[in-house]
Chain A
Amino acid sequence: MASYPGRLTAPPPTVRIRGLTRRFGARTVLDDVDLTIQRGEFVALLGRSGSGKSTLLRAIAELDYDVTGSGELHMPENRAVVFQDTRLLPWARVLDNVILGLDLPDAVARGEAALAEVGLAGRERAWPVELSGGEQQRVALARSLVRDPELVLADEPFGALDALTRMRMHDLLRELCARHRPAVLLVTHDVDEAITLADRVLVLVDGRIAEEQRIELPAPRPLRDPRFLAHRESLLAALGVATAAASTEDTDSSSELEGSAP
């Protein structure tokens, strides 16, 4: 499937969106958005709440009925969605949750392998309520990976986790993506998370992509790296958040004005 006749022909992108517009009543949530995600590319979509980032993700996941809009969408059939709430069926055991809807003769073996990969080998027979929040989200990751998706759509998957668990999940996700190479669209409001994980970060402001940055730092990306900090500054600026560092660099008077910001 993934073989191409020559090196000159580039493989077609996994996601191609042209002129995507979505409206809720009179409000335009997405305004003529273009987006291309290459094979195996990890794209993070940043935005404040209400910026339309979830709407964009739901449009690609084809979960947006009862919404008016237009635009051209090309995305693979084989895609997986990771939700912020883990959405494990409480009445199904962990393994059954992972292989839900997987119609393959070796579904159980694949499910067990996927659980082992997220570090939950041996918990196949557990009920979801017996797991911690982080473990539940790892099951949800296993559920996505077991389908070998070309595209993973993740809607603030770590938003409900505590900071330490979130850092561990970042490592795990990076590892899994390096191994399986799916294209990923990660919706988040956490700037550091976006820079830590993504190849490319987009900022959505009022339904338009206002900023785009390619992150070309080597794999473990320490927060203190000056390049990391530079990305952070400009992304925060695009989001309309003035950081203390940025305002002191600008002028003293502006830092006085923004003094109340943490």
Chain B
Amino acid sequence: MTTTLPTRAISPRVATRAASLRVAGGPDLTATADIHGSLVGALARPAGGGPVARRRSRRRLGPGRRIPYGAALGPALLLVAWGLASATGVLDARVLSAPWTVVTTASDLIADGRLLSNLLTSAQRAFLGLALGVGLGTVLALLSGLTRVGEALVDGPVQLKRAIPTLALIPLLILWFGIGEEMKVLTIALGVVIPVYVHTHAALRTIDARYVELAETVRLSRWQFVQKVALPGALPGFLMGVRLAVTGAWLALVVVEQINATSGIGYMMSLARSYGQTEIILLGLVVYGLFGLASDAAVRLIERRTLSWRRILAG
């Protein structure tokens, strides 16, 4: 039983977040879509019930009552249309396999272990690249966000890197590292560094001067200041960077797995293309989609846990 939400429950931080996003508005379109999603998510958070919700359950000028399982309605219709088209022969199996073919293929691939082994390979690549990129991005952002020397040394090169699409570096990376796992993980990591760096750096640099002043009046040491003010203050920015980084990691994964890979979901899909097995291609797409959804949910969970101070409880 979800109640329509009173708008005043929106944390004032949402505005700050939107502003910082504008600053960092990246070159990457999926990022923008993701930002939108997160704002909507923040808006849709219920205010914890209370007498206000009971008095009038709906906003008069709002879009209306929620439809139960509304979010599943569109995909379900699409699935039904696809099934009907396949069953009646309107949709040729060479163009797109029937949904049941995809399901049976999936169970076959799971049964012989191919799906799981490819899935694990892909997940490992993405995870390593992500971990490396987030680590590097965070260290660079701290260096350049907290010290002037660090900023002078780090910010320029990172901004240069930012201007070059990571995928354009693949030829160079192949020359340097070959076509093995190093190249794949590094490509992912390089794509991940940028959003993490940009958002963490911006968050560190825009910490409210009033808090810096407070830190001075209570005589915090530089280390205490970093620990108690700078890092927790920059955490929302960092997590936003990580969310964009996760999206970027999957994007890079798809690309590197189609280049000379011998394992992974992407490899499974390119192989299927050679044999015209659209059901396997579709299965790969579903797996990528599930990866993306799961990792985004994970980051959002971390966000909710660590930023609980933002939640406005019943007022």
Q: Give A residues with C-beta under 8 Å from B.
A: 61-63, 80-81, 83, 85, 87, 89-93, 96, 100-102, 127-130, 143, 147
Contact A89 B229 (CB under 8 A): yes
B135 to chain A minimum Cβ distance, whole angstroms, is 23
Contact A89 B219 (CB under 8 A): no
Contact B313 A87 (CB under 8 A): no
Q: Decide yes or no: A89 and B217 within 8 Å by CB, A101-B224, A129-B312 being known contacts.
A: no
Q: Give B residues with C-beta under 8 Å from A.
A: 210-211, 213-220, 224, 228-229, 232-233, 235, 307-310, 312-313
Can you give 30 contacting A-B residue pairs, CB < 8 Å? Answer: A61-B217, A62-B216, A63-B217, A80-B217, A81-B214, A81-B217, A87-B210, A87-B213, A89-B211, A89-B214, A89-B228, A89-B229, A89-B233, A90-B310, A91-B233, A91-B309, A100-B214, A100-B215, A100-B220, A101-B215, A101-B218, A101-B224, A102-B218, A127-B309, A128-B309, A129-B309, A129-B310, A129-B312, A129-B313, A130-B313
Residues of B contacting A62 with CB < 8 Å?
A: 216
A85 to chain B minimum Cβ distance, whole angstroms, is 7
Extra pairs beyond A90-B310, A129-B309 (5, CB < 8 Å): A87-B211, A87-B214, A90-B309, A91-B307, A100-B218
Residues of A contacting B308 with CB < 8 Å?
A: 127
A93 to chain B minimum Cβ distance, whole angstroms, is 8
| Interchain CA distance A96-B219 in the complex, whole Å | 15
Chain B residue at smallest Cβ distance from A80 = B217
Residues of A contacting B216 with CB < 8 Å?
A: 62-63
Chain A residue at smallest Cβ distance from B217 = A81
Contact B228 A92 (CB under 8 A): yes
B287 to chain A minimum Cβ distance, whole angstroms, is 37
| Interchain CA distance A96-B233 in the complex, whole Å | 15
Contact B309 A101 (CB under 8 A): no
Interface of A is mostly: loop
| Interchain CA distance A91-B228 in the complex, whole Å | 9
| Interchain CA distance A83-B212 in the complex, whole Å | 13
B191 to chain A minimum Cβ distance, whole angstroms, is 29
| Interchain CA distance A85-B214 in the complex, whole Å | 11
Partner of A92, one of B210, B232, B313: B232
| Interchain CA distance A10-B187 in the complex, whole Å | 74
Q: Decide yes or no: A91 and B235 within 8 Å by CB, A85-B210, A100-B228, A129-B312 being known contacts.
A: yes
List the 4 closest pairs (A to B, CB-CB), nearest first: A101-B218, A91-B232, A81-B217, A101-B220
Interface of B is mostly: helix
| Interchain CA distance A127-B218 in the complex, whole Å | 20
| Interchain CA distance A261-B235 in the complex, whole Å | 51
| Interchain CA distance A91-B229 in the complex, whole Å | 9
| Interchain CA distance A143-B128 in the complex, whole Å | 44
| Interchain CA distance A62-B213 in the complex, whole Å | 10
B12 to chain A minimum Cβ distance, whole angstroms, is 9
| Interchain CA distance A85-B210 in the complex, whole Å | 9
| Interchain CA distance A87-B310 in the complex, whole Å | 16
| Interchain CA distance A90-B310 in the complex, whole Å | 8
Chain A residue at smallest Cβ distance from B233 = A91
B45 to chain A minimum Cβ distance, whole angstroms, is 14
B204 to chain A minimum Cβ distance, whole angstroms, is 14
| Interchain CA distance A130-B11 in the complex, whole Å | 12
Residues of B contacting A130 with CB < 8 Å?
A: 313
Interface centre among B211, B214, B215, B229 (most CB of A within 10 A): B214
| Interchain CA distance A129-B232 in the complex, whole Å | 16
Residues of A contacting B213 with CB < 8 Å?
A: 63, 87
Chain A residue at smallest Cβ distance from B229 = A89
Chain B residue at smallest Cβ distance from A100 = B218
Residues of B contacting A100 with CB < 8 Å?
A: 214-215, 218, 220, 228
| Interchain CA distance A89-B310 in the complex, whole Å | 11
| Interchain CA distance A92-B313 in the complex, whole Å | 16
Residues of A contacting B310 with CB < 8 Å?
A: 90, 129
Residues of A contacting B229 with CB < 8 Å?
A: 89
Contact B219 A101 (CB under 8 A): yes
| Interchain CA distance A139-B186 in the complex, whole Å | 49
Contact B218 A89 (CB under 8 A): no
Residues of A contacting B224 with CB < 8 Å?
A: 101
Residues of B contacting A63 with CB < 8 Å?
A: 213, 216-217
Interface centre among A61, A91, A127 (most CB of B within 10 A): A91
Interface centre among A90, A96, A101 (most CB of B within 10 A): A101
B254 to chain A minimum Cβ distance, whole angstroms, is 36
B155 to chain A minimum Cβ distance, whole angstroms, is 24
Residues of A contacting B228 with CB < 8 Å?
A: 89, 92, 96, 100-101
| Interchain CA distance A81-B218 in the complex, whole Å | 8
| Interchain CA distance A96-B217 in the complex, whole Å | 16
| Interchain CA distance A140-B219 in the complex, whole Å | 16
B69 to chain A minimum Cβ distance, whole angstroms, is 33
Chain A residue at smallest Cβ distance from B231 = A91
| Interchain CA distance A84-B218 in the complex, whole Å | 16
B211 to chain A minimum Cβ distance, whole angstroms, is 6
| Interchain CA distance A150-B213 in the complex, whole Å | 20
Chain B residue at smallest Cβ distance from A126 = B313
